[in-house]
Amino acid sequence: MDASAMNPNNSHHVRSNSLPSKPHPFIEQVDEQLCRLEEASEATSSSSEICHKLNGLQDLHDSIDRLLLLPLTEHVFVEESCEKSFDDLLEGSFRILDLCDIAKDALLQTKECVQELESVLRRRKGGEMFIASEIQKCLNSRKLIKKTIYKALKAIERKSCEKSQATSAIVSSLKQAEVVGYNVVKSLLSFLAGPKLPSNSSRWSLVSKLVQSKRVACEVEETSRNEVALVDAALQSIASQKTKKSDFLVQVDNLQSSLKVFGSNIEELEGDLEALYRRLIKTRVSLLNIYNY
């Protein structure tokens, strides 16, 4: 009998030299997660939907990090001389981290604004004029946050991720992950900015429906399930209308309830975004380790 046939190590060595007949399971896993995230709507949605997207993106980057540790991945970059792809991926990871920083700042400023106003409403000191002035301060803060977000979103449109022209399946998946990550963080920023309320007289009719009515008209159904829109509407209503004391107190109570829910949701978003940020850093470090190999 041939000696090589008797030696199991030799037999294993011969098989390992052959190219794999199908993609590595990690590549398939990344592609499946990408498909699920791409199916999610990019439109502004509720905080729970945004959290779901952020968690899905965390799972995706956990899989990407395992993929980047494979010798196969290193071979793709080193043997195929993917220097241009490397540069694009590193630049893309930096852009997403920069976008996350903007979102983190917006979340922090929003949380501080909510907490300060909650404290004022809880104490109920200073009378209606004082409460109204504090609400106006919160409105002004929200306007600044919105302005920063709109500016960031406009910059994103100018620097939108290009479609990958990569021939490697691994590089193509990584570029897709970059685009998906952009879209998820964009949806978070759009959520924090909130939808724009109609102008002129129709605005106050909408505000009244949002704040005081149990039934929300069909045309504002999307707005009514957005916590940011509800809080902004309540703030606008109290700051802009002169009402009876009893109506004022009802509006303040409604605003207080909205702020309590919104504040809790903001903290959840903060935690999920921070967890994603750490995973994005880890992915970038893994890329740099391959690049410097």
Average pLDDT across the chain, whole number: 78
Residue pLDDT, tens place only, 3-45: 444 444 443 333 333 344 456 677 888 889 988 888 775 555 7
Query: Does any domain span residue 121?
Result: yes
Q: Is residue 49 part of a domain?
A: yes
Please state whether the predicted TM-score (pTM) of the whole model is above 0.75.
yes
CA distances, 213 to each of 24, 54, 200, 235, 273 (Å) = 55, 32, 20, 16, 33
Give pLDDT, residue 18.
Answer: 38
Task: Identify the three-state secondary structure at position 281.
Answer: helix
**Domain-located, residue 274:** yes
* Residue 100, pLDDT score: 95
Domain count, the chain: 1
Residue 189 lies in a domain: yes
**pLDDT, tens digit, for every residue of 165-210?**
556 788 888 999 999 999 999 999 999 998 664 454 444 455 554 5
- Cα(104)–Cα(110) distance, rounded to whole angstroms? 10
Q: What is the pLDDT of residue 74?
A: 81
Query: Tell me: the pLDDT tens digits for 249-269?
Result: 888 888 888 898 899 999 999
pLDDT band at 218 (very low <50, low <70, confident <90, very high): very low
Assess if residue 188 is contained within a domain.
yes
- What's the average model confidence in pLDDT over 236-241? 78
**What is the pLDDT, as a whole number, of residue 162?**
53
pLDDT at 285 > cutoff 60: yes
Domain of 180 in residue numbering reads as 45-158+176-193+263-291
Residue 187 lies in a domain: yes
In a domain, residue 11? The reply is no
Domain assignment of residue 100, yes or no: yes
Q: Which of 21, 70, 13, 17 is nearest to 78 (CA)?
A: 70
Q: What's the CA gap between 274 and 268, in Å, rounded? A: 10
CA geometry: angle 91, 60, 103, nearest 5 deg: 60
